[in-house]
């Protein structure tokens, strides 16, 4: 089984400048994801797709391959992720003279995923052979119970209704939030120009623990992540 791990990290982070290489628990944020991929050990190649020389240098220092630089048009605020992944896959195949079976995309801002999470995803993917697998966390809010939409008149109503009213959240159907941590793709599905989302008619999920789903997107998230580690709630 020929697996490519992709780690996308552009240089122009707006919310937290320099986020991808900002220190978290003594290492650049991107280093935690690179080291997870190395510990997992299933990938033929683990590549970082970036437009930043600085990020590329840090990634190489921690053992990732950076065999190409991401084109500028794929490093904008409006660039779609699938174009980035297609470019990374095709370019890696050309450079390494191979064809991958599975593409595994790991988000830099999810440092609390575990090697066991990756192994569990691989088990599910190889058993079910979907077009895509993506990680999720059980949602606290429910469109059947406490999420609303506002109509053109300004009135609010539940986002989704059932035949009978629900009076307790526990009675609502279980729903999940995509946590943007782990994505597994069938190579042919990913390469298809028509593919624009991991959600297809042949997608499956992998449920992660809430703490493992922690996503670093804001300044305060760095401080909270440090607290979780130093407080003994999670080990990196």
- Does residue 212 share a domain with residue 151? no
Residue 134's SS3 state is strand
Condensed to tens digits (0 to 9), the pLDDT of residues 51-99 reads 999 999 999 999 999 999 999 999 988 889 999 999 999 999 999 999 9
From 174, 189, 219, the end of a domain falls on 174
Decide if 215 is inside a domain: yes
pLDDT attached to residue 166 = 80
- Does residue 109 share a domain with residue 13? yes
Beta pairing class for 132-138 and 203-207? parallel
- Does residue 154 share a domain with residue 56? no
Question: Distance (Å, rounded) from C-alpha 168 to C-alpha 130?
Answer: 34
Decide if 82 is inside a domain: yes
- Does residue 63 share a domain with residue 47? yes
Burial class, 225, CB count within 10 angstroms (exposed 0-12 / middle 13-18 / buried 19+): buried
Q: Are 106 and 9 in contact (CB under 8 A)?
A: no
- Does residue 129 share a domain with residue 146? no
The total of other beta-carbon atoms located within 10 Å of residue 205's CB is 18
pLDDT attached to residue 38 = 98
Domain carrying residue 59: 3-137+175-230
User: Whose structure tokens read 């449920």?
Assistant: 207
- Does residue 191 share a domain with residue 146? no
Does 215 score more than 90 pLDDT? yes
User: Whose structure tokens read 């944020």?
Assistant: 29
Question: Distance (Å, rounded) from C-alpha 85 to C-alpha 202?
Answer: 19
Condensed to tens digits (0 to 9), the pLDDT of residues 87-126 reads 999 999 999 999 999 999 999 999 999 999 999 999 999 9
pLDDT attached to residue 48 = 99
- Does residue 189 share a domain with residue 119? yes
Question: Distance (Å, rounded) from C-alpha 201 to C-alpha 211?
Answer: 29
Does 169 score more than 80 pLDDT? no
Does 6 score more than 90 pLDDT? yes
- Does residue 193 share a domain with residue 98? yes
The model's pTM: 0.94
Does 34 score more than 80 pLDDT? yes
Decide if 235 is inside a domain: no
Does 14 score more than 80 pLDDT? no
Total domains, the chain: 2
In this structure, what token pair is assigned to residue 37? 């991929």
- Does residue 81 share a domain with residue 48? yes
CATH assignment of the domain containing 183: 3.90.550.10
């Amino acid at each position: 089984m020929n697996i490519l791990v992709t780690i996308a990290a552009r240089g122009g982070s707006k919310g937290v400048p320099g986020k991808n290489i900002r220190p978290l628990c003594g290492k650049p944020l991107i280093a935690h994801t690179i080291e997870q991929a190395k510990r997992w050990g299933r990938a033929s190649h683990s590549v970082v797709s970036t437009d930043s020389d600085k990020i590329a240098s840090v990634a190489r220092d921690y053992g990732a391959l950076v065999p190409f630089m991401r084109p500028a048009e794929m490093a904008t605020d409006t660039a779609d992720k699938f174009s980035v992944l297609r470019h990374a896959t095709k370019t890696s195949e050309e450079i390494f003279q191979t064809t991958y079976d599975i593409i595994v995309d790991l988000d830099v801002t999810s440092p609390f995923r575990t090697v066991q999470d990756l192994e569990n995803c691989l088990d599910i993917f190889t058993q079910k052979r979907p077009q895509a697998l993506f990680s999720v966390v059980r949602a606290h809010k429910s469109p059947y119970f406490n999420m609303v939409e506002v109509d053109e008149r300004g009135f609010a109503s539940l986002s989704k209704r059932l035949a009978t009213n629900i009076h307790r959240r526990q009675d609502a159907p279980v729903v999940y939030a995509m946590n943007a941590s782990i994505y597994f793709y069938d190579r042919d599905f990913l390469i298809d120009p028509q593919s624009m989302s991991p959600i297809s008619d042949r997608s499956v999920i992998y449920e992660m623990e809430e703490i493992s789903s922690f996503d670093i997107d804001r300044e305060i998230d760095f401080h909270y992540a440090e607290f979780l580690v130093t407080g003994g709630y999670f080990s990196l």
